[in-house]
Amino acid sequence: VLGVVTDKEAKLGNIAYEMTLFANRAGSALNPQLVLQLKNSVGAASTR
């Protein structure tokens, strides 16, 4: 899930394009092992 906060003047097409670029770049860096590590670290932080 990816969310973005913008102002009213933001151009939706540009925002969608930039979100797509980011998702593609981040997605290629994430492998199943890293995703599991990230999930575990978030869970560990909430139990502190």
Predicted confidence pLDDT, tens digits, the chain (48 residues): 788 999 999 999 999 999 999 999 988 888 899 989 988 998 766 555
Residue 41 has what pLDDT? Answer: 92
Residue 48 has what pLDDT? Answer: 53
Residue 20 has what pLDDT? Answer: 95
Residue 35 has what pLDDT? Answer: 87
Tell me how far CA of residue 17 lies from CA of 6, 7, 28, 33, in angstroms.
Answer: 14, 16, 17, 28
CA distance 43 to 37: 10
Question: Residue 22: which residues within 8 A CB-CB, separation 6 or more?
Answer: 2
Q: Where are the domains of the chain?
A: 12-46
Contact, 19 vs 2, CB < 8 A? yes
